Structure 1
Amino acid sequence: MTKFSDDLWHGIDGLLTKILDLPFNRDLASGTLDADRFRFYVMQDSLYLNSYSRALSVASAKSPTTEAMLFFAQSAQVALEVERALHAGFLHQFGVSDADLAAAQKSPACAGYSNFLLATAATGSYEELVAAILPCFWIYWHVGQEIAKISAPDNPYQAWVDTYNAPAFADAVKEAIAITDATAAAASPAERQRMVTAFNLCSVYEWMFWDSAYRQEQWPVTV
């Protein structure tokens, strides 16, 4: 019998291929990604991680086990630490000042993804939230692994690749998957279907996030 997570992953096979084939990720692997596009991405990622850490904190508070509570609390801390590291690393490297980041607005894709996670944290079930959180772990690990195989020599973005191909990140992903499987095993069929829906939507948001960074997506109108 396959695990719940296996079914989730196989269900997005086609989307995973599309994610790896995005111009952003192809150029990232070859080291030819335009610096302005990466700068846009890192700024949006910093804004997203602030919201993601809040969703992880709520998951910790809702967790039925001490192990899951600790995992999500530690993951929330790591997300904030990564955000700080972006300030000291890539943001500084690509000329983003604190004032630039303070004035930055979430792109439509970033806002949609962030708001869905926060809305699920506030009004959804623990089961839905666990499933919604998982794609950011799992898909980034997958992309990091795949790009590491073909990353160009002296790739200026190698530090990014190494972050998501690191053994420590792999361990965190595996724990998130295990928690998702345990959560699904105790859930009703209807709740498991809601988990699938949340996982699939957030997987689509992952595609949208990279695509929007390549296009440096802006709001179509402003007030």
Structure 2
Amino acid sequence: MATEKLRAWADPIWQEIFRHPFVVEVYRGSLPMDKFRYYLLQDYNYLVNFTKALSLAAARAPSVELMKTALELAYGTVTGEMANYEALLREAGLTLKDAEGAEPNFVNVSYMSYLLSVCSLEGFYQCMAALLPCFWSYAEIAQRHRDALERNPVPLYRRWASVYLTPEYNALVEKLRALLDSSGAPPEALWPYFRQASIYELKFWQAAYEGH
């Protein structure tokens, strides 16, 4: 399967993500709250642009069915996930106005510019290969750190992370993987996009940890 190969090739990058201090500390409950607040503000901005990228992908879909899939993902992100983020912001002592007014950091701008560019100029499956690491890596992070999460003393961190362990979220990841696997696209053609997005995922965690 194409996605199995992509995941195997990206494993050195993903292993760095799994052991990144932000990831480890947020799942253990030892991450300073100011770092998590900064992450929430940045990630909210990311989700806004991620939705735009999915909408662009829909316009490049080779079939009506695939167009519907991309639009459903965009709708789910802008309604479900962003609504969840609004609740998380409130619990963290932040407002939607704070999130909308937050300046995206350099990595955030670079990552979003990359996704928007791919989804505007490349093919549908290349776009989906670039979007998949975000969905998939969060699911694997949650699985890797499940035991730590069970002992996590911070309710906000537990609530945030538990979303990525739900059957619904993991079914979404599997749906995206199946979409790419059924495309017939050789993994070599998808790899540059999957790799670059994986690198950006790692850099996003680092920028959140450093606060800039």
TM-score of Structure 1 vs Structure 2, range by shorter chain: over 0.9
Aligned residue among 24, 27, 40 for 1:26:
24
- The sequence identity of aligned pairs, in percent, is 28
Q: CA deviation at 1:38?
A: 0.4
Provide the aligned length of Structure 1 versus Structure 2.
209
- Is the 2:111–2:200 contact (alpha carbons within 8 Å) kept by the matching residues of 1? yes
TM-score by length of 2: 0.93
2:68, 2:141 → 1: CA distance? 26
**2:115 is matched with which residue?**
117
Q: CA deviation at 1:153?
A: 4.2
2:21, 2:207 → 1: CA distance? 11
- Is the 1:147–1:161 contact (alpha carbons within 8 Å) kept by the matching residues of 2? no
**2:200 is matched with which residue?**
205
- The one-letter code matched in structure 1 to 2:103 is Q
DSSP-derived class of the 1:57 partner: helix
Q: CA deviation at 1:105?
A: 1.1
- The one-letter code matched in structure 2 to 1:161 is A
Q: 1:137 and 1:103, CA in 2 relative to 1: closer, same or farther beyond 3 A?
A: same
Q: 1:153 and 1:133, CA in 2 relative to 1: closer, same or farther beyond 3 A?
A: closer
Alignment of 1:159-174 (within 5 A): 159-174=159-174
**2:85 is matched with which residue?**
86
Q: CA deviation at 1:148?
A: 1.7
1:209, 1:14 → 2: CA distance? 16
Q: 1:98 and 1:5, CA in 2 relative to 1: closer, same or farther beyond 3 A?
A: closer
1:195, 1:145 → 2: CA distance? 25
**1:143 is matched with which residue?**
141
Q: CA deviation at 1:69?
A: 2.1
2:47, 2:18 → 1: CA distance? 21
Q: CA deviation at 1:32?
A: 1.0
- Is the 2:27–2:152 contact (alpha carbons within 8 Å) kept by the matching residues of 1? no
DSSP-derived class of the 1:175 partner: helix
2:95, 2:125 → 1: CA distance? 38
Q: Deviations over 1:128-176 (max 9, x none)?
A: 1111111111111111222223212444311111111110001100010
Aligned residue among 56, 63, 68 for 2:66:
68
1:205, 1:129 → 2: CA distance? 15
Unaligned 5+ residue runs, structure 1? 218-223
* Greater relative contact order, per chain length (Cα 8 Å cut-off, separation 6+): 2
* 1:50 paired to 2:48: yes
Moved over 3 A (4+): none
Unaligned 5+ residue runs, structure 2? none
